[in-house]
Amino acid sequence: MSLPSLMVAPNGATKTKTDHPALPITLDEVAETARACMAAGADGLHLHLRDIEGGHLLDSGAYREALEHLARELPALPVQITTEAGGRYDPGHQKYVALHSGARMVSAAWREITREEGAPSFYAYAAERGIAVQHILYDVSDAEGLAATLPEGLLRDPALQLIFVLGRYVDGQVSKPSMLKPFTDWMKRERLEPDWMLCAFGRGETDCLRAAHKAGGKCRVGFENSLVNKDGSVARDNAERVAEVVSKLGL
């Protein structure tokens, strides 16, 4: 199972409608947003769920229900679930949700999953069950740690899925295209040709995604990482961000 070319991440774990009134919180809002983003050119959804109070939720049952709902509403849309800790969940819970939600695609941060022992077994078991884990890497030290953690067969598999993160939730959410080079250099050193993707925070999102596309990578766009367009204007909604990236990248 390969990654979509342009995945939309419409909400994330922490933003609320105070950050942007068009940020989707409920499952119906997420589905409506995903439909609009598909029409704008997105071909995958990165799914975060919220609890009744709007907080970050990792729950295998809730994910299963959400995936069934989205499959009915948007049957052609691949959906990847997050296992982000969000300051609320431990690695054991994250791994359980990844394996028992019914998802075929999950994202998992190497630095979170490895806070407890058992990461290599988790990665191997997910592969055996046909669950594609996209490894979230925040810097090259994460990438090197992943290379040391993964079973060799999974590391060298062309189906290995990675996402490189440029910028942060803090420090002004700055991201620059030059931040991609350490990751591409690492892949060359390791002689890896994975199925990789990029996401980037803040105003630099569009330029960073364009650099990733030029380098042969795939892209993730949306309000989880940035609310603004290349010119600094606040986007009307997630679909507008998708449309700008489609236009700038020629997708």
Residues 210-224: pLDDT tens digits?
A: 999 999 999 999 999
| pLDDT surpasses 90 at 149 | yes
Mean of pLDDT values over 62-84: 98
User: How far apart, in whole angstroms, are the C-alpha atoms of residue 240 and residue 146?
Assistant: 34
> How confident is the model at residue 250, as a pLDDT?
85
Candidates 168, 171, 172, 176; CA nearest to 224 is: 168
From residue 198, how far is each of 19, 89, 132, 182 by CA, in Å?
A: 23, 24, 17, 13
| pLDDT surpasses 80 at 60 | yes
The predicted model scores a pTM of 0.96
| pLDDT surpasses 90 at 119 | yes
Q: Write down all domains in the chain, each with its CATH number in brackets.
A: 6-249 (3.20.20.70)
Query: Hunting for tokens 């067969």 — which residue is that?
Result: 153
| pLDDT surpasses 70 at 112 | yes
One-letter amino acid for residue 149 of the chain:
T
- Could you tell me the pLDDT band of residue 171, with boundaries at 50, 70 and 90? low
Question: Quick check: helix, strand or coil at residue 215?
Answer: coil
Please name the residues in contact with 221: beta carbons below 8 A apart, sequence gap of 6 or more. 6, 7, 8, 9, 42, 199, 205, 209, 241, 242, 245
> How confident is the model at residue 20, as a pLDDT?
98
Q: pLDDT over 90 for what percent of the chain? A: 96
| pLDDT surpasses 90 at 157 | yes
pLDDT tens-place string over residues 187-205: 999 999 999 999 999 999 9
Candidates 10, 150, 166, 164; CA nearest to 74 is: 10
Q: pLDDT over 70 for what percent of the chain? A: 98
| pLDDT surpasses 80 at 125 | yes
